[in-house]
Each structure stands twice: as C-alpha cells, then as structure tokens.
Amino acid sequence: MSRRPTLFLLLCGLVGLLNAATVRAQLPATTSDQLFPVEDVVRVNTRVVFIDTLVRDKKTGAPVTNLSVESFQVLDDGKPRKLSYFSREGVTRRPLALMLVLDLSTSGILYLEKPEVMEHIIAALSRLKPEDEIGVMQRWYEPQGPLSFEMRSRMVSNLTRDRAQTFAALRDVQQFAKQNLPQVKIFFSFKSLFKEAWKTGIVGAATGMPPPVITTAARDLEYMIDKAPLLAREHPTSQVVVMEVTDDFGAEGLGKTRKTAHELIDSGVTVCGMVIKRTFMDKGVNLTGSIMSPLMRVRFHTISYYGKQTGGEVETVGRPEEFAGAVDNIVSGLAARYSLGFTLDESERNDERVHQLEVKLTPRETTRKLTVSARRSYVPKAQP
C-alpha cells in the first residue's frame, strides 16, 4: 500500500536513505484511467446542474455575498448557459458534519504537539453553531524497530454536538503528539536524519547495502477521504466537510484521484485543508515530489487537489494564531456560497459525455479584484 510514495528521495539521497512512506493502495493506471478518463466530474440525476460557488475579495480574503445573478456567467464546454436557479445558499446553510483529521505523520505534528496551537483550534471550533457536529481522527507513525515505522489511524471522537467531548479529544491528540514526536524525529529533523544515515552507512559498509527507512500500513488504516461519501449518505441533512491538518505531501495514482474526486463530488462532500508552512526539509520533499510525480504517474498535493475539485478551500498555517483564523475562514466560506444552476434540455437527457464547466464573473464585476471557486465539470446521467 502506498499513499506517499518516495517523497524523501532528494534529501535522503544526500545521506543514503530512502523513505518509502506509507500510502494507500491505488488502482492500476490503465484500469482506473479507462473507468474515469476525465478529471473533476460531477454526475447529476436531475435535469438541473447545480454549482456551489464561492467568491472572495482577493485583497482581504473576505467572502463577497452581495452579488446578483447578473454577476455570474457559466460556460458549459465554452458555451454560455442561462442560469435557471440562483440563491445565496450560505444564508441558511445546513448543519455541518465536520471531520477534523489531524495528520501526525506529517510535519503537522511539529505544531499539533503545542498546547497553544490546539487551544486556538478549539477556540475557533467553539464558535460553530450548536447544531453543527464535529468528529476527530488522527494518523501517526508508530515505531516498530530501528528505522521501521507503521502508519496507523484512530477515530478519537465520532461526530457529536457535545463540545466538551470534542475538545477533550483534541487535547488528547495534542498530548499524544507530544509523546510521539521524539520517536519519529527522523522524518522532520535533518539532524536526526543525518545521524541515522551515518549509522546506516556503517551497516552498509559491512553488508554492502544500507537498509532504508521501512514504513508499512496498519491493516486497519483508514483514510477519511475514502469514508466521506458513506458519511454523507449517513448524514443526508448535513454538509459533510473533511478538514485535514497536513503538510499536503500525499500522492496517489492519477486514475485513483479522478475516481475519488468523482465520488466526493457526487456525494456532496467538501474537502478543506490547513497546510503547514514548509520547513527546509519540507521544501526538499516538495521539490522531489514535484519532479517525481509525473514520472511515477501520481498526483502530488492530494488535499489541495480534492479541495479544489469539491469547492473547498486550503489555508496555509504556521503561527499558532493562524490555526484559529484558518478554521474561521473555511467555515465562513461554507456559509457564504452561491448556488447556481442551469436546466438541461431534452436532447441532453441521455448525454453521458463529460462537460467542462467554468464559472466567471461578468464584465460588470471584473473591475473588482475577486476570486471564484467552483466545481469544474459534470456528466449528466441517463434518465431511467
């Protein structure tokens, strides 16, 4: 199983280590590409194609909520569509079913082990509406021996409206991260990596080949992105949101990411991220991943990708207070979306062809510096 394949190549190559970090299994490229040949797909069962759209002020980052239907233009395969549905959906947004995923197997652990960071996250979550539910999941590396680690996950707290339970779970994760960090420093400290590489080099001189850092996946490892469509079916009256704190160095096969994006969009799940600012080692990993991913036919920065395709947002965080601001921005964005829709005519009823979508602001709005986030395509299903 592999979700973060060979992203330490650059740094570890300097010191003789190769980190084949654990990620989840992927479909064979040929099979998945045949099944899902086009990216960013949403399928619709009705005669109306709906597009959730978020507009922000580029300078301030604040959501813009006072636009009218005349402010928008939707292009379907480059051709304008007449909007037959328009609403400011965020005014009466559905209750959230928010799954907060704290990825301690990334450099996010360097922040999440700090009490002040977790308290800022808790402060932001305490401002959610009483009817919103919050769940907490964590992932981490569990040492199995010298230079051997197993990726594990656990649901710390299921979706609940009980804020005391949620906040206790978050503080539990913070304490766990503090205890786990010294055991996994090799992944996040160049000094620790160099020291281990030196030891490994001595072994290599005696055996002819230095052992790599070995990472495996626990048999019960869960990835919330995969579970989210089921979660949406179990909570049909809620807006299901997966919000992950991560370095966003995850990688998956191209066909698999297309399939997953389709499932998320089809089920109405929104993926958001709080991406940790990059350290010196992170920059090396990022460079390596950017170079290697096209050669290995994998997609890098998967959380950013899923966020973009589902209409979610990704915030960059580094200082403790930025975590609270990121949660606030993401939630405010969920509550400030427009719902645009256009009606398919009879000739398109059985059109199983992928249509590329683009949401633009009309010329009357282009004088303002605004950004638009919306889904990118759809495939109308054949009607029964």
DSSP bridge pairs for 80: 75
335 in a structural domain: yes
pLDDT tier, 145 (very low <50, low <70, confident <90, very high otherwise) = confident
Residue 157 domain flag: yes
User: 195 lies in a domain?
Assistant: no
Instruction: Using alpha carbons, select from 223, 235, 248, 231 the residue that is nearest to residue 307.
Output: 248
Tell me the percentage of the chain whose pLDDT exceeds 70: 77
Dist CA 314 CA 68 (whole Å): 26
State the pLDDT at residue 366.
64
Residue 180's φ and ψ, nearest 5 degrees, are -80, -30
The answer to whether 206 touches 200, Cβ cutoff 8 Å, is no
Inside any domain, residue 322: yes
pLDDT higher at 283 or 342: 342
Q: Decide if pLDDT at 14 tops 70.
A: no
Higher pLDDT, 347 or 336: 336
What confidence category does residue 169 fall into, taking pLDDT thresholds of 50, 70 and 90? very high
Q: Give the list of residues 6+ apart from residue 316 with CB closer than 8 angstroms, or none.
A: 274, 275, 276, 277, 322
* DSSP category for residue 63: B
Structural domain count of the chain = 1
- For residue 147, tell me if it sits in a domain: no
pLDDT band at 363 (very low <50, low <70, confident <90, very high): confident
Calculated CA dihedral for residues 132, 138, 139, 144, nearest 10 degrees: -160
> Tell me: the pLDDT tens digits for 107-126?
999 999 999 999 999 999 99
Model-level pTM?
A: 0.78
Give me the CATH number covering residue 126.
3.40.50.410
Contact of 324 with 120, CB cutoff 8 Å: yes
Q: Which stretch, 168-182, 324-338, 358-372, has highest mean pLDDT? A: 168-182
What DSSP string runs through 263-314?
HHHHHT-EEEEEEEPP-HHHHHHHHHHHHHHHHTTEEE-HHHHHHHHHT--E
Q: What whole-number distance in Å separates Cα of residue 375 and Cα of residue 50?
A: 10
CB 311 within 8 A of CB 22: no
Residue 302 identity (one-letter amino acid): T
Q: Is residue 212 a part of any domain in this protein?
A: no
Q: How far, in Å, CA of 242 to CA of 371, rounded? A: 22
- What is the percentage of the chain residues whose pLDDT exceeds 90? 43
Which domain does 172 fall in, by range? 33-136+153-179+221-380
**pLDDT tens per residue, range 86-102:** 887 655 568 999 999 99
| Secondary element (H or E) of residue 234 | helix 224-234
Does 8 reside within a domain?
no
Taking residues 149-172, what's their average pLDDT? 97
In a domain, 285, yes or no: yes
pLDDT given at position 161: 97
